[in-house]
Structure formats: structure tokens, C-alpha cells
Amino acid sequence: MAAALIAFCVLLRWGGPLLLLYAVTRLWVGEWGEAMIAFLFAILIGQANAFASWLEWNAHGRDEWLRQCRRDHARH
């Protein structure tokens, strides 16, 4: 179970760049199908990471930003 969790974390953190590297090597040897699949998965991983970052900002960063705006308006 721990190994699967570590593998999942590695995939989310470095999966996109590793898949792009794999896609380039597949293109280099002329295997277009595998390259396109790897490229699409790299894009999906990148979008998942961006969505997670956006959720994090909405959960925490937005509240801090709103507090800062209230403080700024209270000063005037």
C-alpha cells in the first residue's frame, strides 16, 4: 500500500515531464502512436496538477486575499 502511494505521488510530481521525455524519444524513433498517447497523458497530469493548485488557492489563498482587502478598505 505504501509503495503504491509513493508511486502515485511520484507520478503526479514528475510524471508529466517524464512522459514528455518518453514522447520525444518515441517520436525520435518514429513511433507516433505511443508518442501521442504519452503526450496526452502528460497533458492530463499537468491539468490535474493545475486543478489541485487552483483548489488549494481557493481553499486558503482566497481567504487570505479577502482578509487583506478588508484590512486595506478599513484603513481608508
Place of cell 488549494: 56
DSSP assignment letter at 58: I
This prediction has a pTM of: 0.62
pLDDT tens digits, the chain, 76 residues: what are they?
A: 888 888 877 877 788 888 888 899 999 999 899 899 989 998 998 888 888 888 887 777 778 888 888 888 877 6
Q: For 30, phi and psi rounded to 5 degrees? A: 90, 15
